[in-house]
């Protein structure tokens, strides 16, 4: 019963999850058809040839039932219930209301991958019913859906069934020799559908369908984007669940259009140096793995500095560390961030504002006083306060700080670092009236800052090997000086979550979601119930980044998820939205009747 429900639902999660991509050829006949029309590009997912090149996001997703079975085991009972509710709503909207059954009418002819796309223009506005029924955060129905036809005989049967049914009102029209069928319903999302060669194409807007046909007829497609197929071919994954492409100039233009910055979206997109990001998604026992490559435009004047030196500083963090960011060169990271911020209208921290803020509050020049000696390894971490400290009586009117932040940097100039620290001590003591005291901690010299209100404390000093550290917030220095009893890198959660490749690398990120969400002493703002529900399904997240070459970067992200072995089945809600019906006939509908033959992988020779 579970497999039956899974089969009936899997298509609809494909249409909404927005995670995605790699399509396998539907057979030798389909492969030959693509060759003849110059639509085949090595490593490019089948279906990407129909998607306009300026699409915001494209995705190809597996229809393999075993992968969907594994996907549904992730999370908690609450997230599985929410996901199943969304799936049953989509099933009702897209098939059931028109009298179709996925297992009987769609699955027999559908290929192993489908493709979806989100465009930056020509999209329709979701109806109120769609908005109210969307319970998965940040997910909206795609603008373009491409379904490969693997079995022409059974596909024709469903097309004939469409012609005989009168469930949905529709109109038909011809565009560039292709017949299009469009639904016509008031107060509902209307759809367009057509058959292009061996693919059924569905869109949520008539103009989007015309753009898909234009692309099919020879306009620039996502498949011909510089670097797209090449970068996909460099990510090795034996059985990917999905592959995704993000169009970075399109994202930059969209962000500019929705920001308060004066630069036009067109100019903002032109300043964007990155061409795109491709991501291959695989389902692992402990969670979901994302292997990605980001690359620059062919005419970009930017070049990456190829220097990967895996940082050793995370081993100096205690086992209970909640979050850490580490890298090989803090000064270079800031330089790259500042350069990228010029074309990013939603940059969280403005580089000029931060520089001026440091100058104003601390009396130090970021570029002259700090960055010159910060060109070595670094680590920034959030560490919870000890239980003994939290047990102390609180100061009247002041909350107990549940955690502290520590910054560690491998100094390349100890004398210059000491001078910066002395300047900092003077400003903190004279301008902010903190008590600045030289003392000993676990046998090592440190300097403590104590607020006159006893609400915030800080400590700075040196660790072995010219590593300078500064803590701020709750007193956590004793957790790292001289070194932790048990290191973060020794914990099973860290080892399971942080990707070991690429190696060497120049940056890593780790966050213990479960401890942060369940930690009652951090005094964070209370999260809304729905986001908190989704976060509670995640144990931890790990990211490893490396410079691939002068034009590209490689990064692996792993989301460590909780699992529930046997997903439950949930009732189907009542929804009144209707999907499109497929065209009954079209000049391109004469699908050749071919025997079933083994599928040909994309990288095979014809």
Q: What is the pLDDT of residue 591?
A: 38
Q: What is the pLDDT of residue 105?
A: 81
pLDDT reading at 123 higher than 60: no
Is 544:498 a contact under the CB 8 Å cutoff? yes
Q: What does the pLDDT average to over 500-516?
A: 94
pLDDT in tens, 214-238: 999 999 999 999 999 999 999 988 8
Q: Which of 215, 281, 270 is nearest to 248 (CA)?
A: 270
Query: Can you tell me the distance from the alpha carbon of 156 to that of 166, in angstroms, rounded to the nearest whole number?
Result: 18
Q: Using alpha carbons only, give the angle 297, 303, 305 rounded to the nearest 5 degrees.
A: 145
Helix (H, G, I), strand (E, B) or coil at 501: coil
pLDDT reading at 196 higher than 60: yes
pLDDT in tens, 435-490: 999 999 999 999 999 988 766 789 999 999 899 999 999 899 999 999 999 999 99
pLDDT reading at 293 higher than 60: yes
Query: Can you tell me the distance from the alpha carbon of 46 to that of 602, in angstroms, rounded to the nearest whole number?
Result: 9
Distance of CA 499 to the CA centre of its chain: 16
Query: Can you tell me the distance from the alpha carbon of 41 to that of 224, in angstroms, rounded to the nearest whole number?
Result: 8
Q: Compare 335 and 579 and report the one with higher pLDDT.
A: 335
pLDDT reading at 360 higher than 90: yes
Token representation of residue 335 = 């330089």
Q: What does the pLDDT average to over 120-136?
A: 49
Q: What is the pLDDT of residue 87?
A: 73
Token representation of residue 3 = 């497999």
Q: Which residues pair with 549 in a beta bridge?
A: 552
- Mean pLDDT (the chain) is 80
Among all chains, which residue has been given the structure tokens 């003077």?
Answer: 426
């Amino acid at each position: 019963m579970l497999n039956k429900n899974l089969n009936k639902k899997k298509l609809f999660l494909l249409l909404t999850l927005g995670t995605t991509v790699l399509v396998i050829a539907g057979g030798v006949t389909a492969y030959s058809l693509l060759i003849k029309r110059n639509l085949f590009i090595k490593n490019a997912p089948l279906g990407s040839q129909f998607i306009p090149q300026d699409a915001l996001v494209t995705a190809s997703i597996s229809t393999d039932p075993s992968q969907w079975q594994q996907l549904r085991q992730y999370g908690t009972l609450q997230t599985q219930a929410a996901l199943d509710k969304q799936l049953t709503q989509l099933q009702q909207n897209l098939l059931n209301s028109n009298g179709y059954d996925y297992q009987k009418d769609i699955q027999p002819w559908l290929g192993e991958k489908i493709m979806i796309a989100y465009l930056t223009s020509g999209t329709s506005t979701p109806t109120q019913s769609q908005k109210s029924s969307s319970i998965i955060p940040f997910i909206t129905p795609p603008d373009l859906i491409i379904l490969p036809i693997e079995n022409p005989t059974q596909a024709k049967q469903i097309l004939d069934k469409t012609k005989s049914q009168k469930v949905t009102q529709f109109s038909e029209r011809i565009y560039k020799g292709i017949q299009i069928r469009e639904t016509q319903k008031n107060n509902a999302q209307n759809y367009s559908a057509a058959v292009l060669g061996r693919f059924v194409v569905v869109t949520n807007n008539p103009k989007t369908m015309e753009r898909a046909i234009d692309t099919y007829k020879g306009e620039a497609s996502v498949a011909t984007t510089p670097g797209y197929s090449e970068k996909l071919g460099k990510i090795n994954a034996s059985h990917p669940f999905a592959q995704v492409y993000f169009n970075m100039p399109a994202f930059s233009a969209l962000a500019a259009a929705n920001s308060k910055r004066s630069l036009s979206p067109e100019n903002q997109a032109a300043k964007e140096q990155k061409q795109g990001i491709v991501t291959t998604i695989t389902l692992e026992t402990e969670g979901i793995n994302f292997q990605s490559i980001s690359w620059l435009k062919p005419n970009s004047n930017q070049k990456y500095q190829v220097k990967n030196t895996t940082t050793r500083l995370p081993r100096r963090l205690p086992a209970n560390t909640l979050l850490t960011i580490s890298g090989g060169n803090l000064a270079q990271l800031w330089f790259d961030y500042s350069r990228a911020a010029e074309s990013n209208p939603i940059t969280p921290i403005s580089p000029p504002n931060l520089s001026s803020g440091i100058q104003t509050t601390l009396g130090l020049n970021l570029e002259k006083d700090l960055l010159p000696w910060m060109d070595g390894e670094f680590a920034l971490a959030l560490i919870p306060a000890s239980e003994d400290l939290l047990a102390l009586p609180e100061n009247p009117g002041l909350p107990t700080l549940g955690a502290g932040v520590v910054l560690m940097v491998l100094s390349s100039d100890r004398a210059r670092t000491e001078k910066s620290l002395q300047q900092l001590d003077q400003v903190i003591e004279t301008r902010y009236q903190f008590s600045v005291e030289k003392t000993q901690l676990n046998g090592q010299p440190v300097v403590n800052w104590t607020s006159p209100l006893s609400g915030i404390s800080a400590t700075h000093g040196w660790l072995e090997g010219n590593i300078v550290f500064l803590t701020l917030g709750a007193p956590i220095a004793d957790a790292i000086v001289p070194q932790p009893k048990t290191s973060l890198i020794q914990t099973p959660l860290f080892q399971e979550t942080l990707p070991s490749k690429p190696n060497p690398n120049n940056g890593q990120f780790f966050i213990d979601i479960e401890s942060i969400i369940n930690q009652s002493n951090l005094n964070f703002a209370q999260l809304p119930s729905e986001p908190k529900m989704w976060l509670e399904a995640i144990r931890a997240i790990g990211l490893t980044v490396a410079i691939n070459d002068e034009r590209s970067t490689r990064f692996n992200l792993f989301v460590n998820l909780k699992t529930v072995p046997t997903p439950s089945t949930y009732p189907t809600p009542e929804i009144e939205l209707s999907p499109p019906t497929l065209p009954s006939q079209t000049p391109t509908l004469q699908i050749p009747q071919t025997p079933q033959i083994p599928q040909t992988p994309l990288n095979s020779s014809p």
